[in-house]
Amino acid sequence: MLRKRLTDPDPVVTTPTRYMSTRYKNTAPPVWVNSMIALLCETYPKTFFLYERRRVPLKLGIRNDIMRAMGSGIDPAQASAAVGWALRMYCSNSFYLDKIRTGAKRIDLDGKEVGCVSAEQAKGATALVAARRAKRRAKAKAKVAGEHADAAT
């Protein structure tokens, strides 16, 4: 089903080739990424969840499993870029990162447990979430300070 949906000429899911290059690594995600995540949720309902608080740690290397499941008949470079962007967005979600805790079970495409989160992986996820929260607090603090400075003049 995923192979059929990726080969449809749907403009929302179609992946422009400019996003396949690594030089666009730090750009905003393409508009079709949410559609690709929705497609993964529809295709693998035991693994992927649209509702962010239900997300659980995924198996390491799940991208390769998805690519194998798609089979032939599609452009591998385009499909790889689409799946890569979708997984990057899915796994960088704060609720997903909060679930990355030492010993947490990882699941495969069938929803079966296939491994656990290591202490090092949990530490990295915790540090990333803490850095995001600190950046958000600093930005809010600067905004409040700017408003106070404007009100004083």
Mind giving me the DSSP string for 23-64? GGTTSPPPTTHHHHHHHHHHH-TTT--SSGGG--PBPTTHHH
Quote the domain boundaries for residue 13: 2-152
pLDDT tens track for 57-98: 999 999 999 999 887 777 888 888 889 999 999 999 999 999
CATH of the domain at 80: 1.10.1710.10
* Integer Cα distance of 141 and 135 in angstroms: 10
> What is the rounded CA–CA span in Å between residue 132 and residue 111?
29
Number of structural domains in the chain: 1
Q: Would you state the pLDDT for residue 58?
A: 96
Prediction pTM value = 0.73
Closest-CA residue to 107 (of 41, 39, 60):
60
pLDDT in tens, 23-45: 455 566 778 888 899 999 999 99
For 106-135, letters b (16+ CB in 10 Å) and e give bbbbeeeebeebeeebbeebeeebeeeeee
Report the pLDDT value the prediction gives residue 27, as an integer from 0 to 100. Answer: 63
Evaluate if residue 46 carries a pLDDT over 70. yes
